[in-house]
Amino acid sequence: MKHWRWLRGIGLGLLMAGGATAIQAAEPLPTPLHPLRLAQSYTDLVAVSLFQHYTAGYPAPVLTEGLSSRQIDSVHVTFVRRLISEAGDSGSVVGYKVALTNPRAQAQLGVNQPLYGFLLENMLLDNGATLP
């Protein structure tokens, strides 16, 4: 484990210095104990980006391309937890929504499966409500 941190530190130092020198390891690099950590941290970054787009009122780009269904579920859960904890007045999850169930609509947006999401209390409107 000490070798891993040391080699990682060298790599970071070379990146920061802009060096392009190759380092030949005397022994094979050890396999990280938690190989999914990178993927998990990436899903956290995607969830944070989606949250920032949502709270700023801007459409988010498709950031989940190449992620597994499990990773996309993780993004959804992290996003909703952050929304509930940081947006305070959003309320709890009261339902779910589905979009792009038609294959032609999916093709227009470049996705290959329906999209789903969560409905929070503050997203619901009374009957007869006027939309802004």
* Confidence at residue 104, expressed as pLDDT on a 0 to 100 scale: 93
Q: How far apart are CA 113 and CA 96, in angstroms?
A: 16
pLDDT above 90 as % of the chain? 5
- Residue 91 burial by Cβ neighbours in a 10 Å radius (0-12, 13-18, 19+): middle
* Confidence at residue 33, expressed as pLDDT on a 0 to 100 scale: 55
68-107 pLDDT per residue, tens: 878 888 888 888 888 888 766 677 888 888 988 999 998 8
42-69 pLDDT per residue, tens: 888 888 888 888 888 888 887 777 888 7
* Confidence at residue 65, expressed as pLDDT on a 0 to 100 scale: 77
* Confidence at residue 128, expressed as pLDDT on a 0 to 100 scale: 92
Give Cα 94 to chain centroid, integer Å. 22
- DSSP code for 18: T
**Mean pLDDT score of the chain:** 72
Measured between its terminal Cα atoms, the distance across the chain in Å is: 56
Q: How far apart are CA 20 and CA 14, in angstroms?
A: 7
3-state secondary structure of 63: coil
Q: Which pTM was predicted?
A: 0.52
φ/ψ region of 14 (left if φ > 0, alpha if ψ in -120 to 50, else beta) reads alpha
* Confidence at residue 27, expressed as pLDDT on a 0 to 100 scale: 62
Tell me the β-bridge partners of 47: none
